[in-house]
Amino acid sequence: MLQVVRLMQRPRSFESLCGLNPTEFTLLAEHLEPLWTRAHRTSLLREGRKRRIGAGRQFKLDVPHRLLLTLIYLRHYLPMHLLGVLFEMDAANVCRNIHALLPLLEQALPAPLRARTLNSRKVTPDDAPRRRLRTLEDVLAAFPEIADIIVDGTEQPRGQPKKKGSGPGKKAVGRPKDQKKFFSVKKGTHTLKTQVAVTPDGLVVHLSAPAGGRTHDMKVLKQSRLLPRLPRGSRVWGDRGYTGVDKLCPQHEVIVPRMRPKGGMLSPEDRELNHQIAKVRITVENVVCKLKKFRICREFYRNDTRRHGLFWGCVAGLVNLRTVNRAPQFA
C-alpha cells in the first residue's frame, strides 16, 4: 500500500504523483481534517441511523491517505480497480472514498465561483445576481484593484448520449434528442464545454456549468451568470468568439480581437492591436493548460455528467493553491 510518509521522502516524485509538493499537501490535509470530522459526525447523527455511534467497521484510510487517493485520481484519472490495487482496497470502496471527499476538498481549496447550472432565461444588462456566493466576492474583496477578467471556453471529450428504454428491461430505440447538442464540429466528437474566467495574475475566479460541445461560447457566457457579478466598469477580454458581448453588457468594457473583413485584410494598426490583446489573453490559455495537466479535465470523461463541475472545481482550486503559494504578487 502507498504510504504518505515514504512518498514524501522524494519530493519531486511526490509532486509528479499528486500535483502538490509535500508542504502544500500537509497544509491541505490539516485544513481538511476538521471538515471531514464534521461531515462524518453529521452522517452518524442522521435521522434513521440504527447503529450506535462507534459501531461498525472502521475506515481503513485516514484523511491524508484519503486525500492522496483523491489527488492521484484527479491527476492521473486511473481506473478504480487499479487504485484499489495500489491502496489494497475494493474498487467500490475506492469510489466511495473519492466521492465522499470531493465536496470537502472543494471547500478546503481556494476554488473559484462555480455555476451549478446554466441560466436559460434571457439575460438583460441590468440583471443582478439572485444569490451572492462567497468565492468571487472574497477574491474581489482581497484584490479590489482587479479590473480585468479574461474568459475562454475549453472542451473535453465525452461519450455519445444514449437513449434510455421506455421501461425496465426494454431496449432503447432510435437516437436520443440531445445527441446533436453535445457534438462539437470543431473537435469532431461529443464534448462537454466549460468556460473559464481568470484574472491577469492567473487566478481562476469563475467556472461555468458544463454545456454541450455544440453550444457557442457567447451563449455559455450569457447563461453562466458571470457578467452580473462583475464590478461595473471592469474589462472583459475574450477571443473572436465573444464578438458582440459589448451589446449584452454596456456597463463593461469588452475587448476582443479585430476580425478580418470579408475579402479584405487587416490594417497594420489592427494587427498590432490583435497582437497586444493576445499578450493579455495568453494568461487564460496557460491556465487551461495547467488545468488539463490533471487528466480528469483532459481525457475522455467517463463519469456522471452531474459531477463534471465538481471535478473541475477541485482541479481549479488546486491550480489556484499553487498559484497563490508560488506567485510573488500573492505573497
Using the structure block, give the residue that is written with the C-alpha cell 478546503: 108
- Each residue of 115-155: pLDDT tens digit? 877 776 554 444 433 332 334 455 555 545 557 899 999 99
Residue 202 lies in a domain: yes
Parent domain of 300:
113-161+177-305
Residue 166 lies in a domain: no
Which cell numbers hold the place of 27? 497544509
**E strands present in 167-246:** 183-184, 189-198, 204-207, 211-212, 235-237
- Of 46-60, 70-84, 109-123, 232-246, minimum mean pLDDT range: 109-123
Segment 300-318 mean pLDDT: 95
| 198 and 253 fall within a common domain | yes
| 135 and 63 fall within a common domain | no
Most confident of 161-165, 264-268, 286-290: 286-290
What local confidence, expressed as pLDDT, does residue 126 receive?
42
| 33 and 144 fall within a common domain | no
- Of 49-63, 74-88, 184-198, minimum mean pLDDT range: 49-63
- Asked whether 126 and 211 are in contact (CB, 8 A), the reply is no
| 104 and 128 fall within a common domain | no
251 versus 93: which is more confidently predicted?
93
Spatial distance between the Cα atoms of 135 and 226, rounded to a whole number of angstroms:
12
Q: Which backbone phi and psi does 194 adopt, to 5 degrees?
A: -125, 135
* Statement: residue 169 has pLDDT above 60: no
119 versus 280: which is more confidently predicted?
280
What local confidence, expressed as pLDDT, does residue 127 receive?
43
**C-alpha neighbours within 13 Å on the C-beta side of residue 225:** 20
| 274 and 220 fall within a common domain | yes
Q: Label residue 64 by pLDDT band (50, 70, 90).
A: very high
Number of domains in the chain: 2
- Asked whether 56 and 84 are in contact (CB, 8 A), the reply is no
Spatial distance between the Cα atoms of 259 and 242, rounded to a whole number of angstroms:
11
| 90 and 121 fall within a common domain | no
The DSSP call for residue 293 is T
Count H helices and E strands in the chain, helices first: 12, 8
Residue 321 lies in a domain: no
Which residues, in sequence order, are CB contacts of 206 under 8 Å at separation 6+? 112, 113, 114, 115, 136, 149, 195, 196, 197, 224, 226, 229
Instruction: Give percent above pLDDT 90 in the chain.
Output: 60
| 131 and 264 fall within a common domain | yes
Give the DSSP letter string of 44-96: HT-TT--SPTT-SPPPSS-HHHHHHHHHHHHHH---HHHHHHHHT--HHHHHH
| 185 and 139 fall within a common domain | yes
- Of 46-55, 65-74, 90-99, minimum mean pLDDT range: 46-55
Number of neighbours of residue 328 by Cβ within 10 angstroms: 5
| 75 and 154 fall within a common domain | no
- Each residue of 85-99: pLDDT tens digit? 999 999 999 999 999
Residue 315 lies in a domain: no
**E strands present in 234-276:** 235-237, 253-255
What local confidence, expressed as pLDDT, does residue 252 receive?
87
Segment 251-258 mean pLDDT: 89
| 97 and 143 fall within a common domain | no
What local confidence, expressed as pLDDT, does residue 136 receive?
47
What local confidence, expressed as pLDDT, does residue 123 receive?
45
* Statement: residue 217 has pLDDT above 90: yes
194 three-state secondary structure: strand
Segment 153-180 mean pLDDT: 71
pTM comes to: 0.87
Which amino acid type is present at position 221? L
- Each residue of 19-41: pLDDT tens digit? 999 999 999 999 999 999 999 88
What local confidence, expressed as pLDDT, does residue 135 receive?
45
Average pLDDT, the chain: 86
Segment 191-212 mean pLDDT: 94
